[in-house]
Every structure is written in C-alpha cells, then in structure tokens.
C-alpha cells in the first residue's frame, strides 16, 4: 500500500492560538486548526477528477439503485494440491441460492469458478477501468472459499486478502465509476481455526415485562458481511451449502420491500447465531459449536433491495435449489475440521 505524505507538525506551537502565530516583525500568520491527527497529503486542484455523476441526491436518506446492478461470485471449490485443502463440497448450493435470489431482484449474476489470484486481480482491474462500471447502480461481490485469519482467503493457486485485493481496489479514488454507489462484499470463509462453544443465558424476570457536487470519504458506501467472527470457523453443508449463505438468501427472499438491507442482515445474524449449532459427537473440537457473522459498514444511506412495484420477488426460492437448513456441514477452514457428519441443529 502506498504510503501517505504528511504535513509536518510543529510541536513547539502546542498551546498557542490555533488560528495564528507570531512571525518576524510581530506579524500574524494563519496556521491550521488543531486536529487529532496530522492531516494527510491533499492533491492539487489540477489533479482532482471531475465529480462522478450518480442517481442518488446528496441529501437522500436512501440509495437510488435504478439501473444495472452486478453480482460477481468468486466460487472456490478446488485448490492446488500443494495446499492440501479438501474440495468445498456444497458450494454449488450456495451459488444456486445466490443466483436465484439476486436474479429475482434484477441483478446480473456472474459466477467465476476456481479463479487464480491473477484472474481475480484481472477481474477487479476491469471493474476499475471499464466504462460499463459507470452504468452500474450497485455491485455485490461474493467470495466463497477456505480462509484463515486477517481476512485471508484462498484462490486456486495462492492466497489473497479481502481488504487489500478487493476493498482497497474499489474505493472512490481507485474506482471512481463506483463512487457514491453501494458496494456489498459477502465473505463465506473461515476467519481462523477457533470455534465458539457459546454461552447459556436466561432472561431476567422483572415486574415490568444539496450542492451540485460534494466530497465523500473514499471508503464510504461499503458493506462487508462475513460468515464468522475474527479467527473463527464457519460451517458449510456438503449438500445444502453454508449456514451463512442459506440464511442470507432465505432472509432476503422473505423480506418485504420496506425492509432495508441492514434490517435483513440483522435477521441473518440472528438466524445463524441462534438457530444453528454443530453436532459432531465424535469430534469434540467441533461438537455443539456456534457461529456468528460479522458486519462492517460505511454505508451512508439506507439500501432497499426490492422495488415496491416488483411483487414477484416475494417468497422463497424454489425449483432446482436445495431445501434450506438440513443435512451435514463442513468447515470452510484450512484446518482439519471439514466434517461430513455434523448435523445442523
């Protein structure tokens, strides 16, 4: 990552009036307001890009996502033999859920299987540079793979970082065509080797039951939703897909057009956290374990996935998509815990 250039701060000025300081001959000179960190380098006016034109007004409380919307699924099932990773059986079900759910919502879904790290970099570079990206109203990227800690996931031939190789490439300064537009990142992968046994609780009984152009932060308008908490396993069924993607697609399908995306994702977290528990009696390290998704957001507005006039999108997905919430689960970790005899509770 390129280092930022910083203005030098003069510690000898601490405690003085932040507006002025004395120069030669007693003259006053303006200095910068006191800040909690040294301000970074600001590019000259001649270097700045022209404002990006978007559909959403500055003062709008929700994103306007009329127009093309794109889903890219990096589906990693097989890996180079040197990693000694099992195939991610059941990932086809996750892909089917995603495809069905977002197609019904009017998104264009592109599935990319077993991409190498170079191929993933090429896809992201094309998103950055293609004029077709400018036409998009929103983009969602799904990463289905094995993973480790620090946001590291596996491509077919090597490892890559969700933050460095995906998110940082799509910020407003690196990808101006997506500036001001929702960028949704969903990660179905373990974040490490730890498991969560959960804790039992009970309820306490009580007696009372608009400018023409404006600046935004480069990291604005991101939503990152990952299957498990830092350093923890996520579980996946060899037949019906992962707990996380099952819950995500199910809750989106059942949601109302008045539900915001964040409302829906709260239900996803609750579903995975409270309704799922692993059952592997012969593997104590994986038996009766829990999982909770982790959400990061720099979204500036509400996002509604459903058009109020689009009634057919209501209801569950059907047809060739497997039934939800049944059959064994595996783990999306590099570790040895990928089980086929772990029943969803």
For residue 292, count CB atoms less than 10 angstroms from its CB and return exposed for 0-12, middle for 13-18, buried for 19 or more: middle
Decide if 146 is catalytic: yes
Contact 313, 306 (CB under 8 A): yes
Q: Which of 76, 175, 190, 232 is catalytic?
A: 190
Phi, psi of 318 (to 5 degrees): -145, -165
342 is catalytic: no
Active-site residue, selected from the candidate residues 146, 175, 249, 342: 146
Q: Which long-range contacts (CB under 8 A, 24 or more apart) does 228-231 make?
A: 228/190, 228/191, 228/291, 228/292, 228/293, 228/294, 229/191, 229/196, 229/292, 229/293, 229/294, 230/149, 230/191, 230/192, 230/294, 231/149, 231/191, 231/192, 231/193, 231/194
Catalytic residues: 146, 190
């Amino acid at each position: 990552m390129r280092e930022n250039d910083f203005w030098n701060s003069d510690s000898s000025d601490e405690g003085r009036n932040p507006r002025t300081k004395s120069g030669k001959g007693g003259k006053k000179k303006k200095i910068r307001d006191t800040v909690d960190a040294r301000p970074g380098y600001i590019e000259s006016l001649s270097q700045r890009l022209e404002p990006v034109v978007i559909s959403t007004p500055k003062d709008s409380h929700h994103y306007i996502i009329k127009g093309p919307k794109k889903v890219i699924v990096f589906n990693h099932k097989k890996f180079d033999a040197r990693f000694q990773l099992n195939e991610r059986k059941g990932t086809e079900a996750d892909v089917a859920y995603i495809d069905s759910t977002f197609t019904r919502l009017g998104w264009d879904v592109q599935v990319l299987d077993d991409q190498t790290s170079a191929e993933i970099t090429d896809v992201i570079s094309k998103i950055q540079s293609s004029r077709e990206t400018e036409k998009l109203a929103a983009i969602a990227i799904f990463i289905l793979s094995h993973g480790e800690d620090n946001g590291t996931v596996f491509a077919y031939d090597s490892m890559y970082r969700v933050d460095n190789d995906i998110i940082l490439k799509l910020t407003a300064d690196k990808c101006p065509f997506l500036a001001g537009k929702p960028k949704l990142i969903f990660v179905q992968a373990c974040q490490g080797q730890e498991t969560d046994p959960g804790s039992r609780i009970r309820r306490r009984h009580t007696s009372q039951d608009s400018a023409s152009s404006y600046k935004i932060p480069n990291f604005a308008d991101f939503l990152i939703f990952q299957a498990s908490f830092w350093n923890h396993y996520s579980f996946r069924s060899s037949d019906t897909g992962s707990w996380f993607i099952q819950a995500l697609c199910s809750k989106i399908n059942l949601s109302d057009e008045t539900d915001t995306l964040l409302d829906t994702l709260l239900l996803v977290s609750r579903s995975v956290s409270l309704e799922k528990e692993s059952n592997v009696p012969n593997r104590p390290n994986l038996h009766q374990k829990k999982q909770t998704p982790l959400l990061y957001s720099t979204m500036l507005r509400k996002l509604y996935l459903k058009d109020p006039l689009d009634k057919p999108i209501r209801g569950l997905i059907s047809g060739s998509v497997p039934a939800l919430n049944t059959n064994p689960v595996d783990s999306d970790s590099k570790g040895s815990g990928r089980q086929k005899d772990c029943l969803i509770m």
